[in-house]
Structure 1
Amino acid sequence: MTSPDGLTRILDSIQVALDDPAVGPGEVAARAHLSRFHFDRLVAAATGEPPGALRRRLLLERAAHRLTTSDRTVLDIAVEAGYGSHEAFTRAFQRAYGMAPTAVRRRPPVTFRELELSCPSGVHFQPPGGLRLPATRQETPMNVLQHLVDHHVDTLTAIIERAGTLDDEVLDRPITVSVETIDDRPTLRSLINAMVTQEEHWLSALRGGDWPDESDQSVRGLAARHAAAGRDWRGFVARTLAEGTLADTFVDTTCTPPTTHTLGGTIGHVITFAAVRRTLAVGALSSAGITDLGAGDPRPFLDAAAAG
């Protein structure tokens, strides 16, 4: 068996070689300080794929990502993936994905993970330029729910500890709602936009893309943006829960520098911050005389779902 450190060293050599498809297999092995025979045997044992097949698959996954997140020509992407012509790349891409590169560009998936090709190892291209190894364990939905409860209890403990450093005048002072850690001078429009952008942002990050366009903040525009982003976000969460991949990681390319997150952590982040904004938005509607949403409490919704 190959140790985790040994596998990481091997994959690091393959990752570096992705940026230079002209590098031969012997040189890739040498970069891992191994003979070509030993390198091939270790890669096949650790990943279930010969190194050449592993490298070609990773280059195709990277090409698929660049097709859906850039306006570069198919030929440029083909050459970068090590193919000598548009036609050779299209044939290889069609065999792997069952569709032409232009079809993927026209109809990009909800997240980049849907462009990962089946493999025995779980090693995939990770935007913007790395490799993703499979999680060492699986997180169940119940684990994530427990983690969220633990986070709440621990945070409340910390709040109480810090409150102990304040005098009674501060402790009993009436609170003007403070949202400095959430939004700056929120309005009903800005809260709605922030919640829609949050869906769009994390979907874009999962695709390896940039910050979304939030320029249309008309009610009609917000409704159209949410119709697409809400659908795709709901689908992403459902798929993640069904596949038990909450502990898997991805690189958030919208951050500078790019930051690694787990899928479960991202879902928990959205639930938490959206809950604050949603409560403020429901309150703003109530102040405007629209009270049919009540307090926006999820309990009746969850009770009905459990009964239904």
Structure 2
Amino acid sequence: MTEIGGRDRLRELLDAVLDDEHRTLGDMAGGAFASPYHFTRRLSRDAGEPPVAMKRRVMLERAAWQLRQGTSVTDAAFAAGYESVEGFSRAFSRAYGRLPSEVTDAGTGGDPWLPAPNGIHFHPPTSLWVHTGERTMSGPLDHLVHHDLDDTAALIDAAKGLPEDAYRRRTRPGQRVLWFDGTDESVVEILEHQVFTKEVWLAAILGEDFPEDRRDDPAGLLERHEAAAARWLAMLRDMERRDAWDDRIVDALCDPPESFVLGSIVAHVLTFAAQRRGLVRAMLGELDVEVGSGDPIDWLRSRHGQEQPS
């Protein structure tokens, strides 16, 4: 397997994801000697894909290869970790646009690789291939996106130190970043809007249901943010790979439905996320919570320093 970023630890995490005996997130994390939280966070950050999603995708790629070699649908289903052939067939059909039985009947199945945000794919018979030709975000865009995600997590984490009344106190009456989001008068309002914005756009772009989880305590917000951040990053990397920035979606969640250019959505999110981070950083500072400057230069230096091989 090609190493990613020269990091042996990441390779260990990937091995834990793909071990046949590791069926659940807890199994994977245990195999890597990490907590499920930190295991998911590290894989999502460094590989751009949550571990459960990565395992599901790579196992389907392996199943597609096995079917082309003459493996039965039943054997391929159970080898891929599915509890029923029906569940496997549904997942395979969604991924490949054909039933697994059609692969065996036709003797061909097309390219077994599915779209990946990181170039990591199944390579027969039992290893991985890292396809460096799959484009990921590069240059300033990559820095802007990662800085936004990391800084937001740091600000939410810092808010844990606030008393409940200070966390919810409306210290900036009338403050509003976007008219349709409501007020941003308190620390909790700003941080909740910061997370909810990505959740809403993910639902719109991916055609999912409107998010219902609106927990706004710091622990709940951090959990929501980590889940949305991994999916947001994977989605943007897929846009870059497909050069889809000028594609349009029609957002049916709007009333009436409205058309948006994908690249403009990303610019919109980053613009107002930066504004909200600046506002909440100032408010936390006034409450004697140390949050640093938020300067991307300092963030990048720290990030690179942490990732230097020991």
Same fold by TM-score greater than 0.5? no
- TM-score norm. by structure 1 comes to 0.42
